[in-house]
A and B are shown apart, each in its own frame.
Chain A
Amino acid sequence: MDFPSFYLDHLAGGRLIIGLIASLHVLINHPLAVGAYPLLTWMEWWAHKNNRPDVDHLAYRITFVVFIVTTTVGAMTGVGIWLSTSIFAPFAIGSLLRVFFWGWFLEWLVFISEVALILWWFLSWKKADKPEKKRKHIKIGVALSIMSWLTMAVIVAVLGFMMKPGEWNQTRAFWDAMTNPLYLPQLGFRTFFAVMTGAVFLWFFSFFFTKKKGALNPDPRRLREWIIYRLSHVVLISLLGTYAFGTWYWNAVPETMKANSSVALLTQEFMSWHRQFQTLLGWTLIAFLMVGVGGLDRSSMIPRWALLIPAVLSIWLIGHFERAREFMRKPWVIGEYMYSNGVHKDELAFLQSEGLLKHATYVKHREITESNKVECGQDIFMLACSRCHSTTGLNGVIEKLTAMYGPDKPWDSAGMQLFIKGMHQTRTFMPPFPGTDVEAGALVAYLQQLRTHPQTLPGAQSAGIVIAPEALKPSKIADSQPTL
């Protein structure tokens, strides 16, 4: 990649951070925004129709929590996915923005309206004191629910068409992504999952808000029963939807994998993920089912802690679900166009023949000699491997090599070099090595040195950059003079 390499060695380069931010975002966005807004709007409407100020007030108090969380952690983790990708994989996000510009732009417009609506809805709640004002206020809630669902529908499509190989026509790729066999089951799964978890979230918080008697809450017990009884219905119905769409998704995956050649390669890894998904889905749904059925019976109320079980399982499930995208994408960041380390498919043979160092910018040397071999190897590691591996930490290359070659005997350099040259065949989720034989040799020298002298590799954010002069043919020097 031709950008200064941001790198957090102990954290698998920094990929882990993107993953954490993205998971947190989904965990907030699904239950609290997509799931909770329609339920809260419905509560407000019901309270208005049946003249139950206590229900209205409860909805308001839960909305307060939703409002605080979504406008702080929710919004900033959304932006955070982008900010963290910008430093970790600028080549990928930079290309994606150029190719899928309108998708992102649309997402932005929807997001603006979502934020404007949540501000408006929550902050004007208590000002809607007359019936006609209340009706208008409920409509804002409806619009907000639609917008937050749309945000999800658009982003799922954008993520989906990022995986479509070589579809450069924007509109076509966009519609293709929506007709992708995984799109509808995925969207349906996410929607019902969001409502189901959103209902449990509301349920959990209503415990806190139905404790004490108040002017707006004359009969806390009645209110609590009211909400739990209804939320358990919501849980049970959305559970059916989650199950139906989850199963559809599960059945659609193998077919899609066959259709998509880059995916078909990693069958083994993916299939084990796939089976785990089914098991997890089963357990999660059982947990929600117990809670839902328990809630139907008004007299025996589910204790507060019991709600944490389905909550934890659903966090696990969605985390697992999100990893599918990672799995399906490797070794590409953009299907059949760009590998995870920023090398383009069409420049691979060129780099393998000419050399990675020759055409890179942020490297110390361009010619490999016996004395600078290790330094060159380090730069090559940074360019070719560092987006997925740490040196000695998480998913560390030394750890992987130790598992292969054993901890107690010397590693055979020639064998390692052979492995690197064929690493995309042996481990199909790795891209091919984008350099010459000599460069593979330098990389091996670095790895051997790293084994005997483990040392963390600092990224450009702390060590800065070094720029070797461009290796130019003499005739070309004249026209490359920067005119600064």
Chain B
Amino acid sequence: MPALIATIPIPRDLPLPLPVPEWLLVVCLVVFFLVHILFVNLMVGGSVFVVVAEWMGLKNKRWDALAHEIAQTVTVNKSLAVVMGIGPLLCINLLYTIQWYSANALTGHAWLLIIPLVIVAFLLTYLHKYTWDTWAKGRKKTLHQAIGITAMLLFFFIPVIFLANVNLMLFPSEWEKVRGFFSSLCIGNVLPRYLHFMAASIAMTGLFLAGYFGRRNADISHLDDFTCPELRRLFYKVCAYVTLGQFAFGPLVLFTLPSDGITTQVYVIIFSGAAVGLLTLWLLFGELRRDDTRIGSRYWPIAALFSIVVIGIGSGRHVYREAALAGHKAAIKNRTERYAAALADFNKNLAAAPAPAGQSAEQLFMNCAVCHAPNVKLVGPPLTEIAQIYAGNPEGIVTWAKAPGKKRPELPQMPPFNHLGEASLRKIAELMLEKGATSK
């Protein structure tokens, strides 16, 4: 199928081995990535809770205080999201060098935009947090809310860029169709994945806040009218219902995935994850039915089960990625090896060929011929002119060529040729004078 070859780019890989065993990188990728995404979830989800609670606070002040409290967590989580993102980036760069960088380049404008967008989003979250008490009324409050909403919208958008890349790298056969970031969104199943991610952000933040406000030394004295069990129940509820929704989004992601990488193994992993998810959900709803004195006693088992679900999803993703790219990786390996073999052959013959006996004066002169022609002014003065200036003085040419000065105002400066060496320059100089003298 030559037509197929034409549309799937099979580039050469970098001819360097991986610095650590591949399996180790895979483990690191999956684990580091989940840690990173957890903080991203808490950052994105947190910003949503802040906006919603602040808005509810317009009617009832107690929500405003709660929003302020949650805003304190967002600024911490966002910093951790950034630093913890470096590890997985390192791993994915190494494991999927070709696919990852190609996706980055194809969505290049958006990829670069990540930097200013994240900076602005972060600055806005700080502004939002630190103006809370001073911009508390009237117009200022409206402005304050607008800042929170802007930051949230930025947090909504930035993950799309990363998702577009993570998605695009899986489908090399589609790369030729891509014309910039927005067109890359039509490939694969970016939208379902995005919904899945957003829902996870809300659910995870709910779970996190249920723990945060329920922790033993939680001091919520400044949140009048709230009790710890009440907050815990509230955030548990959010977590539970959104997780229930994931049982719709999850299959949506799975069934809209291009079939390239779907294997039985993927199904087994994902469905086992889903089964644990069901168990978690059952525990969660169980918690909600407990009374205030006992709500939260199953927090850690629930968190542990969630981790298992998330690891399941993460591994499922990886297995899908590997399966989807298996053909591409094999073809790249093959092409890289063929190229390396041809290169080694060539270099072997080159080394075996008799070493060229030092360059002749004529060959060396080519370095100068670029700019110096016999009779006409090319870039530098013609040889005839040089021969006049330096008649009988080849040493003068050598000195000049090693460190040219600036003589003729209408011409650019000549570059230095010190690197050719004294002996070669001497040969050149003599030839130059000879040529200059004969071409009159």
Shortest beta-carbon distance from A288 to chain B in Å:
29
Shortest beta-carbon distance from A311 to chain B in Å:
21
Q: Report how far A112 CA is from B85 CA in the complex, Å.
A: 10
The residue in chain B whose Cβ has the minimal distance to the Cβ of A268 is B416
Q: Is the CB of B177 within 8 A of A464?
A: yes
Q: Is the CB of B350 within 8 A of A464?
A: no
Shortest beta-carbon distance from B210 to chain A in Å:
22
Known contacts A83-B112, A87-B101, A461-B111; 17 further A-B pairs (Cβ under 8 A): A72-B126, A79-B85, A79-B86, A82-B89, A99-B19, A101-B20, A119-B76, A403-B412, A404-B371, A415-B370, A415-B378, A422-B370, A465-B175, A480-B338, A481-B331, A482-B331, A483-B330
Q: Is the CB of A91 within 8 A of B14?
A: yes
The residue in chain A whose Cβ has the minimal distance to the Cβ of B15 is A344
Shortest beta-carbon distance from B329 to chain A in Å:
10
Q: Is the CB of A98 within 8 A of B18?
A: yes
Q: Is the CB of B175 within 8 A of A4?
A: yes
Q: Is the CB of B16 within 8 A of A98?
A: yes
B220: Cβ under 8 A from any A Cβ? no
The stretch of B4-12, B187-195, B234-242 in contact with A is B4-12
Shortest beta-carbon distance from B304 to chain A in Å:
24
A90: Cβ under 8 A from any B Cβ? yes
Q: Report how far A94 CA is from B416 CA in the complex, Å.
A: 34
- B124-165 vs A, CB cutoff 8 Å, 1 = contact: the mask equals 001000000000000000000000000000000000000000
Q: Report how far A462 CA is from B108 CA in the complex, Å.
A: 8
**Residue of A71, A362, A477 ringed by the most chain B CB atoms within 10 A:** A71
- B84-128 vs A, CB cutoff 8 Å, 1 = contact: the mask equals 111101100110011001101111110110110011001100100
Enumerate the 8 nearest inter-chain pairs by beta-carbon distance, A residue then B residue, closest first: A461-B108, A101-B19, A90-B101, A484-B327, A80-B115, A2-B11, A482-B331, A72-B122
A300: Cβ under 8 A from any B Cβ? no
- A345-383 vs B, CB cutoff 8 Å, 1 = contact: the mask equals 011011001100001011000000000000000000000
B389: Cβ under 8 A from any A Cβ? no
Q: Contacts A80-B115, A99-B16, A461-B107: A469 and B5 contacting too (C-beta < 8 A)?
A: yes
The residue in chain A whose Cβ has the minimal distance to the Cβ of B25 is A101
Would you list which residues of chain A between 68 and 116 have a CB under 8 Å from chain B?
A: 68, 71-73, 75-77, 79-80, 82-84, 86-87, 90-91, 93-95, 97-99, 101-102, 104-105, 108, 111-112, 115-116
Would you list which residues of chain A between 270 and 313 have a CB under 8 Å from chain B?
A: none
Q: Report how far A76 CA is from B119 CA in the complex, Å.
A: 6
- Contact residues in A for B76 (Cβ distance below 8 Å): 119, 123
Residue of A94, A119, A415 near B79 (CB, 8 A) is A119
B328: Cβ under 8 A from any A Cβ? yes
- B197-221 vs A, CB cutoff 8 Å, 1 = contact: the mask equals 0000000000000000000000000
Q: Is the CB of B370 within 8 A of A419?
A: yes
Q: Is the CB of A462 within 8 A of B101?
A: no
Q: Is the CB of B108 within 8 A of A482?
A: no
Residue of B84, B335, B343, B417 near A425 (CB, 8 A) is B417
The residue in chain A whose Cβ has the minimal distance to the Cβ of B416 is A268
Shortest beta-carbon distance from B5 to chain A in Å:
6
Can you list 29 A-B pairs with a CB-CB distance of less than 8 A? A4-B106, A68-B126, A72-B123, A77-B115, A82-B86, A82-B89, A87-B105, A90-B104, A90-B105, A97-B90, A98-B14, A119-B76, A170-B19, A268-B416, A349-B346, A349-B347, A353-B346, A415-B370, A421-B366, A422-B366, A422-B370, A425-B367, A425-B420, A461-B105, A461-B106, A462-B179, A465-B9, A477-B2, A484-B260
Q: Report how far A481 CA is from B20 CA in the complex, Å.
A: 29
**Residue of A80, A104, A465, A477 ringed by the most chain B CB atoms within 10 A:** A465
B403: Cβ under 8 A from any A Cβ? yes
Q: Is the CB of B86 within 8 A of A476?
A: no
Tally of A-B residue pairs with Cβ under 8 A?
240
Would you list which residues of chain A between 416 and 472 have a CB under 8 Å from chain B?
A: 418-419, 421-422, 425-428, 459-470
Q: Contacts A359-B339, A418-B370: A76 and B83 contacting too (C-beta < 8 A)?
A: no
Q: Contacts A94-B14, A101-B19, A460-B108: A484 and B8 contacting too (C-beta < 8 A)?
A: yes
Main secondary structure of the interface of A (DSSP, over half): helix
The residue in chain B whose Cβ has the minimal distance to the Cβ of A463 is B179
A21: Cβ under 8 A from any B Cβ? yes
Q: Is the CB of B106 within 8 A of A265?
A: no
Shortest beta-carbon distance from A107 to chain B in Å:
9
Q: Is the CB of A94 within 8 A of B93?
A: yes
Residue of B79, B112, B335 near A75 (CB, 8 A) is B79
Q: Is the CB of B79 within 8 A of A115?
A: yes
- Contact residues in B for A108 (Cβ distance below 8 Å): 83, 86-87, 90
Q: By the criterion of a CB under 8 Å from any partner CB, how many residues of chain A are at the interface?
A: 88
A405: Cβ under 8 A from any B Cβ? yes
B369: Cβ under 8 A from any A Cβ? yes
- Contact residues in B for A460 (Cβ distance below 8 Å): 105-106, 108
B17: Cβ under 8 A from any A Cβ? yes
- B324-352 vs A, CB cutoff 8 Å, 1 = contact: the mask equals 00111011001100110011001100100
Q: Report how far A77 CA is from B112 CA in the complex, Å.
A: 11
Q: Contacts A4-B102, A4-B175, A75-B82: A462 and B343 contacting too (C-beta < 8 A)?
A: no
The residue in chain A whose Cβ has the minimal distance to the Cβ of B181 is A461
Q: Is the CB of B93 within 8 A of A86?
A: yes
Q: Report how far A21 CA is from B113 CA in the complex, Å.
A: 12
- B172-186 vs A, CB cutoff 8 Å, 1 = contact: the mask equals 010111111100000
- Contact residues in A for B19 (Cβ distance below 8 Å): 97-99, 101-102, 170
A264: Cβ under 8 A from any B Cβ? yes
A391: Cβ under 8 A from any B Cβ? no
B419: Cβ under 8 A from any A Cβ? yes
- Contact residues in B for A412 (Cβ distance below 8 Å): 378
Shortest beta-carbon distance from A260 to chain B in Å:
13
Q: Contacts A73-B119, A464-B106, A469-B5: A95 and B16 contacting too (C-beta < 8 A)?
A: yes
Shortest beta-carbon distance from B13 to chain A in Å:
8
A479: Cβ under 8 A from any B Cβ? yes
- Contact residues in A for B79 (Cβ distance below 8 Å): 71, 75, 115, 119
- A228-264 vs B, CB cutoff 8 Å, 1 = contact: the mask equals 0000000000000000000000000000000000001
- A383-411 vs B, CB cutoff 8 Å, 1 = contact: the mask equals 00000000000000000000111000000
- Contact residues in B for A346 (Cβ distance below 8 Å): 343, 347
Q: Contacts A83-B114, A469-B2, A484-B8: A3 and B347 contacting too (C-beta < 8 A)?
A: no
Q: Report how far A5 CA is from B12 CA in the complex, Å.
A: 14
B415: Cβ under 8 A from any A Cβ? yes
Residue of B8, B370, B373, B416 near A482 (CB, 8 A) is B8
A180: Cβ under 8 A from any B Cβ? no
Shortest beta-carbon distance from B36 to chain A in Å:
11
Q: Report how far A190 CA is from B317 CA in the complex, Å.
A: 44
Shortest beta-carbon distance from B254 to chain A in Å:
20
Q: Report how far A356 CA is from B175 CA in the complex, Å.
A: 22
Q: Report how far A473 CA is from B367 CA in the complex, Å.
A: 37
Residue of B9, B14, B373 near A467 (CB, 8 A) is B9
- Contact residues in B for A425 (Cβ distance below 8 Å): 367, 417, 419-420
Q: Is the CB of B334 within 8 A of A479?
A: yes
B379: Cβ under 8 A from any A Cβ? yes
